Amino acid sequence: MIVDCALYRDGQRQNEGPLPLEQAAELCSKDEGFVWLGMFEPDEAELDDVQNRFGLHDLAVEDAQNFHLRPKIERYEEGGVLFVVLRTARYVEEGEEVDVGEVSVFLSHRFVITVRQGEASNLHGARMRLEERPQLLREGTAAVLWAILDTIVDGYAPVIEGLERDVEEVEQTVFSGAAAPTERIYLLRREATDFYRAVHPLLAPLEALERGSYIHVSEELRQFFRDVNDHLKLVNEEVVALRDVLATILQANMAVISNQQNEISVRQNETMKQLTVVATIFLPLTFITGFFGMNFGWMINDINSFWIFAVYGIGSLVLSALVIYYWFRRSGDI
């Protein structure tokens, strides 16, 4: 779907509404200035139409249709087109997760074509901000690339803030002595890793852009690229730090879980010890009471008074209890 399409000349937008695609392609080949065409999740037929009208390379168009590519910059000598893949990100408060998108940019001195994939790839702000700065728009398509990069890199800051809040919550839980859900830590680690893959590979290409290795960059515009590069380096350092902190938290959480399991095991062992003591005490007592409960002739004929019963029956019970108690005292079990 085409979101917007405009012709820019001398730092000014030349049309109010979006240009039709065929008119944009015609102006791009004849008129001075450049065309900025923005597309959101186009289907294969739309991309084929754009490819035929602007002469885009097959491999670049194929990459633009795929999702979750690594950030990269490639130059296609055929048509003098620079192909840029950028990863976008936003932090979703409701689900406490990072939503990743992608922007593919086809750039030459006569046109800029952006293909967005995912909700986290809105470039409307980049277009509006650049249109408010005609002195930068006069720099041509390089200024558009800067505006796109600046918008995407600025969008990384809220992601870092959201991840830091989540990490701090888990960190407080773990280091307070309670175990945090291990799954939550793993999910945060995966999100930080995915975000790192969106940020880190962009460092080297952005350095090359600042030096003018891919396209001509004026001294004034070079300062703006340098500013984006500084912000990207800061984000990269912060996401690396978050990954290290999460690794430490995961180890600490495993230690807390292991300690809790040890405490449960100790309590279970203590309970088993107490039950063993009780069973050991009652074993001889049960035997004696069972023995004297039998109807042997000797018992019937000779144990015929309370005192004889007290000596043989109760006395043997007390004696066995004392022997067991002394034995446990000697072994240190009680």
pLDDT in tens, 51-89: 998 889 888 888 888 776 688 899 887 778 999 999 998
Distance, in Å, from the CA atom of 167 to the CA atom of 246, rounded to the nearest integer, reads: 7
Number of structural domains found in the chain: 2
Judgement on whether residues 127 and 238 belong to the same structural domain of the protein: yes
Judgement on whether residues 57 and 200 belong to the same structural domain of the protein: yes
Per-residue pLDDT tens over the stretch 2-22 = 888 999 988 898 888 888 888
Could you tell me if residue 278 is inside a domain?
Answer: no
Residue 230 one-letter amino acid: D
Judgement on whether residues 18 and 154 belong to the same structural domain of the protein: yes
Distance, in Å, from the CA atom of 200 to the CA atom of 185, rounded to the nearest integer, reads: 22
Q: What is the mean pLDDT of residues 24-48?
A: 87
Distance, in Å, from the CA atom of 234 to the CA atom of 161, rounded to the nearest integer, reads: 13
Kindly state the helix (H) or strand (E) to which residue 87 belongs, with its residue range.
strand 81-92
Residue 82 belongs to a domain with what CATH number?
3.30.460.20
Q: Is the pLDDT of residue 292 over 70?
A: no
Q: Is the pLDDT of residue 316 over 90?
A: no
Could you tell me if residue 149 is inside a domain?
Answer: yes
Judgement on whether residues 165 and 302 belong to the same structural domain of the protein: no
pTM metric for this prediction: 0.76
Which of 68, 73, 76 is CA-nearest to residue 121? 68
Judgement on whether residues 245 and 148 belong to the same structural domain of the protein: yes
Could you tell me if residue 276 is inside a domain?
Answer: no
Per-residue pLDDT tens over the stretch 100-140 = 889 999 999 899 999 998 877 788 888 898 999 999 899 99
Judgement on whether residues 73 and 119 belong to the same structural domain of the protein: yes
Q: What is the mean pLDDT of residues 183-194?
A: 86
pLDDT of residue 304: 63
Could you tell me if residue 64 is inside a domain?
Answer: yes
Judgement on whether residues 115 and 238 belong to the same structural domain of the protein: yes
> Which residue would you say has higher pLDDT here, 279 or 214?
214
Judgement on whether residues 39 and 87 belong to the same structural domain of the protein: yes
Q: Which of 258, 278, 308 is the last residue of a domain?
A: 258
**Residue listed under structure tokens 């930080």:** 192
pLDDT bin (cut points 50, 70, 90) of residue 334 is: low
Domain region containing 327: 293-331
Mean pLDDT score of the chain: 83
Encoded tokens for 227? 């500013």
Query: Percent of the chain beyond pLDDT 90?
Result: 25
Judgement on whether residues 178 and 240 belong to the same structural domain of the protein: yes
Judgement on whether residues 316 and 246 belong to the same structural domain of the protein: no
Could you tell me if residue 231 is inside a domain?
Answer: yes
